[in-house]
């Protein structure tokens, strides 16, 4: 149960509904336990000479009490089950909101399928505890308590005989309950594996088909599904054993009751009505006793599920926003300075990806970062919006260490277009306008023009209202890149970062986009990563990285005149272009 203590805040928020639900449970059980008295009295009346009216009166009272018990049982569900759905609603919102705060490193080590499994299957198991689990637990307690008290009023000795199986029941609940929790956890982990495989393969179905791996992936799924099936079957067998033991103990408890009760009736110490009423109470205990197994199963599943959810809730973001912003509000002009910046990825601190990087980017200037694959270009620009933090040194934005600027404010002034373009299953207009709070359609059109995308969009039958498939599958690679660029431009940032974001467009389109950026955004600071010299040669400054260090820095002409690394890259591209033209 200690795993479920983290739910206390949700229980507290709906304490009034839960309280009313518990009150209704008590009232329901009062009616339910008192009703058999009328049956016993009716049987005793019929044991001698009687009037039918007297018997019908008792039967009518029994029906009335049963009906009232049913009304309050309805109110029980209206309070507790409704409260559980509201708690589930809050828990899901908190889970999703917490995921939004976690850092990139968390998502690098945690699969999407695992997170989906915990947010669906595990959360549903917790909801079962918050609703049926609590309701039947409380109901079982009061039904057992009231029924035993009623039985004691008839015959304490007979009650003791009926409760002989209770210690065996407690021991069974303890031993089998622990096994249920272990098996439940393994089932939830297996379900996460299946979810992860499904998510990955459906997203990559085109790759699967291109490499004719359909049969192999089907076999992988079959094996995971077989494991999931076997673990569920193992749990089902254990539960079947549990319910069989409970039912058997209940049946055994009736034997001494009927035997001793019959002797008491013969001896005249009990009436037939008393023994009939007592047997009704023993039978009334059947559902609470059986529900102990069911409730135990719910609690064990919920405990295991909540432990997995707590693992996510206990994750803290590696990148935290400062608690207070002492800087000025308004637009950030955009002067950037990397001051002795070094960085290494978590778990690999011995190998620096960036080593003592220092250079400045003046506000409104256009600076390119070039270098061979693995030289640290993308890592460098990822530090700017604090997707990572440097392990040494500092990055200054208009003279302020970016770690002192609230994340929301910092990122609102940085338009970032990463290497991997991600588009949502929504209209083109909504994708472009994703970060723009104004929702101004003119902004969408202007951003699409600057990204050289407007003509492509108007060729679609639905124009800007064209719905995109998953990850923008109905767009070409170049169109995806330009849509992502338009989204960043609609943001109207003070700093624009293009991380190799023009690789899928031709040189002519690339030149048009770069020209638009220079004309339309003269005051925007531009950081561009590209492997094409044609893209970067018109920048105010070019920074060349090699093995995580600044190897060269200057304008296109200055770097060519030096005849070093940049000149080699330039001559190599000229040769490649010449070979391509000849072919």
Tokens at residue 104, please? 């990139």
Segment 22-80, tens digit of pLDDT: 999 999 999 988 888 888 888 878 877 777 888 888 889 989 998 999 999 999 999 99
pLDDT reading at 96 higher than 70: yes
For position 23, what pLDDT does the model report? 95
- As a whole number of angstroms, the distance between CA 459 and CA 464 comes to 10
For position 28, what pLDDT does the model report? 93
Same domain for 141 and 254, yes or no, is yes
| 3 state DSSP class of 278 | helix
For position 116, what pLDDT does the model report? 85
pLDDT reading at 346 higher than 80: no
CA-angle at 317, arms to 96 and 12, nearest 5°: 50
Lowest-confidence region among 63-67, 149-153, 323-327, 402-406: 323-327
Q: Is 407 inside any structural domain?
A: yes
Which of 486, 496, 491 lies closest to 421, judged by CA?
A: 486
Chosen domain end from 457, 475, 492: 492
If you compute the radius of gyration of the chain from its CA atoms, what whole number of angstroms results? 36
Q: Is 1 inside any structural domain?
A: no
Tokens at residue 458, please? 């108007």
* 118, 192 contact by CB (below 8 A): yes
Same domain for 348 and 404, yes or no, is yes
The larger pLDDT score, comparing residue 51 to residue 13, is at 13
pLDDT band at 2 (very low <50, low <70, confident <90, very high): confident
pLDDT band at 329 (very low <50, low <70, confident <90, very high): very low
Lowest-confidence region among 162-166, 341-345, 558-562: 162-166
In the chain, the number of structural domains is 3
- Provide the residue range defining the domain that includes 435: 421-492
Same domain for 104 and 252, yes or no, is yes
For position 325, what pLDDT does the model report? 62
- As a whole number of angstroms, the distance between CA 464 and CA 462 comes to 6
Q: Is 507 inside any structural domain?
A: yes
- As a whole number of angstroms, the distance between CA 557 and CA 538 comes to 10
Chosen domain end from 472, 492, 512: 492
Same domain for 384 and 349, yes or no, is yes
Q: Is 66 inside any structural domain?
A: no
Same domain for 347 and 309, yes or no, is no
Q: What is the pTM of this model?
A: 0.75
Same domain for 117 and 236, yes or no, is yes
Same domain for 123 and 139, yes or no, is yes
Segment 415-469, tens digit of pLDDT: 888 888 888 888 999 889 887 766 778 888 999 999 889 988 999 888 999 998 8
Q: Is 235 inside any structural domain?
A: yes
Identify which of 283-287, 323-327, 357-361 has the greatest average pLDDT: 357-361
Lowest-confidence region among 88-102, 375-389, 508-522: 508-522
Q: Is 26 inside any structural domain?
A: no
pLDDT reading at 330 higher than 70: no
Same domain for 481 and 512, yes or no, is no
DSSP sequence for 67-107:
HHHHHHHHHHHHHHHHHHHHHHHHHHHHHHHHHHHS-HHHH
Same domain for 350 and 307, yes or no, is no
Lowest-confidence region among 190-204, 209-223, 286-300, 364-378: 286-300
Torsion angle in degrees (nearest 10) through CA of 567, 568, 573, 575: 110
Lowest-confidence region among 253-267, 385-399, 552-566: 253-267
Portion of the chain with pLDDT greater than 70, in percent:
95
For position 241, what pLDDT does the model report? 81
Strand order in the sheet with 392-397: 354-361, 336-343, 392-397, 400-401
Give the CATH number of the domain where residue 390 resides. Answer: 3.40.50.300
Give the CATH number of the domain where residue 115 resides. Answer: 1.20.1560.10
DSSP sequence for 293-353:
HHHHHHHHHHHHHHHHHHHHHT---SS---S---S--S-----EEEEEEEE--TT-TTS-S
For position 94, what pLDDT does the model report? 93
Chosen domain end from 313, 342, 368: 313
Backbone angles phi, psi at 541, to 5 degrees: -150, 145
pLDDT reading at 119 higher than 80: yes
- As a whole number of angstroms, the distance between CA 91 and CA 119 comes to 9
pLDDT band at 21 (very low <50, low <70, confident <90, very high): very high
pLDDT band at 1 (very low <50, low <70, confident <90, very high): low
CA-angle at 18, arms to 13 and 20, nearest 5°: 125
Same domain for 182 and 254, yes or no, is yes
Mean pLDDT computed over 532-558: 87
Q: Is 68 inside any structural domain?
A: no
The larger pLDDT score, comparing residue 72 to residue 329, is at 72
Segment 193-223, tens digit of pLDDT: 888 888 778 777 777 877 788 888 889 889 9
Which residues, including other chains, have CB under 8 Å from residue 176's CB and lie 6 or more apart?
238, 241, 242, 245, 296
Mean pLDDT (the chain, rounded): 84
Q: Is 468 inside any structural domain?
A: yes
Same domain for 163 and 287, yes or no, is yes
pLDDT reading at 487 higher than 60: yes
Same domain for 434 and 559, yes or no, is no
């Amino acid at each position: 149960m200690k795993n479920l203590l983290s739910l206390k805040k949700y229980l507290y928020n709906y304490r009034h509904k839960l309280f009313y639900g518990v009150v209704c449970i008590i009232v329901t059980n009062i009616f339910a336990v008192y009703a058999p008295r009328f049956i016993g009295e009716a049987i005793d009346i019929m044991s001698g000479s009687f009037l039918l009216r007297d018997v019908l009166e008792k039967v009518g009272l029994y029906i009335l009490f049963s009906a009232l018990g049913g009304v309050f049982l309805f109110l029980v569900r209206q309070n507790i089950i409704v409260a559980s759905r509201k708690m589930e609603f809050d828990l899901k919102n908190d889970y999703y909101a917490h995921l939004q705060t976690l850092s990139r490193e968390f998502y690098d080590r945690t699969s999407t399928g695992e997170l989906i499994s915990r947010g669906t299957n595990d959360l549903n198991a917790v909801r079962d505890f918050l609703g049926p689990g609590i309701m039947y637990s409380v109901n079982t307690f009061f039904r057992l308590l009231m029924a035993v008290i009623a039985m004691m009023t008839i015959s304490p000795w007979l009650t003791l005989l009926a409760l002989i199986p209770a210690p065996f029941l407690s021991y069974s609940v303890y031993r089998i309950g622990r096994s249920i929790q272990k098996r439940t956890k393994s089932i939830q982990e297996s379900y996460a594996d299946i979810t992860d495989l499904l998510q990955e393969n459906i997203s990559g179905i085109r790759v699967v088909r291109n490499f004719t791996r359909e049969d192999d992936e089907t076999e992988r799924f079959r094996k995971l599904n077989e494991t999931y099936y076997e673990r569920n079957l193992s749990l089902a067998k254990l539960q079947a054993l549990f319910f069989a033991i409970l039912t058997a103990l209940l049946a055994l408890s009736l034997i001494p009751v009927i035997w001793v009760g019959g002797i008491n009736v013969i001896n005249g110490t009990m009436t037939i009505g008393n023994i009939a009423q007592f047997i009704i109470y023993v039978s009334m205990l059947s559902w609470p006793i059986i529900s102990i197994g069911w409730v135990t199963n719910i609690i064990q599943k919920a405990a295991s599920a909540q432990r997995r959810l707590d693992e996510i809730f206990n994750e803290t973001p590696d990148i935290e926003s400062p608690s207070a912003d002492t800087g000025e509000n308004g637009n950030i002009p955009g002067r950037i300075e990397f001051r002795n910046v070094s960085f290494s990825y978590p778990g690999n601190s011995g190998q620096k990806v960036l080593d003592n990087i220092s250079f400045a980017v003046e506000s409104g200037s256009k600076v390119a970062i070039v270098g061979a694959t693995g030289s640290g270009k993308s890592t460098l620009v990822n530090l700017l919006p604090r997707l990572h933090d440097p392990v040494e040194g500092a990055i200054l934005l208009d003279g302020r260490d970016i770690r002192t600027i609230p994340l929301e404010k910092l990122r609102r002034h940085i338009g970032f277009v990463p290497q991997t373009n991600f588009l949502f299953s929504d209209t083109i207009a909504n994708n472009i306008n994703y970060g723009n709070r104004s929702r101004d359609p003119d902004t969408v059109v202007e951003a699409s023009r600057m990204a050289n995308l407007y003509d492509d969009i108007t060729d679609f039958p639905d124009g800007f209202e064209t719905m995109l498939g998953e990850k923008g599958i109905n767009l070409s690679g170049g169109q995806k890149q330009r849509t992502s660029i338009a989204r960043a431009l609609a943001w109207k940032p003070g700093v624009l970062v293009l991380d190799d974001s023009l690789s899928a467009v031709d040189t002519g389109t690339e030149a048009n986009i770069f020209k638009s950026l220079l004309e339309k955004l003269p005051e925007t600071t531009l950081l561009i990563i590209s492997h094409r010299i044609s893209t970067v040669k018109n920048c105010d400054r070019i920074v060349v990285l090699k093995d995580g260090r600044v190897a060269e820095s200057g304008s296109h002409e200055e770097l060519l005149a030096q005849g070093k690394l940049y000149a080699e890259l330039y001559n190599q591209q000229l040769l490649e272009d010449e070979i391509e033209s000849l072919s």
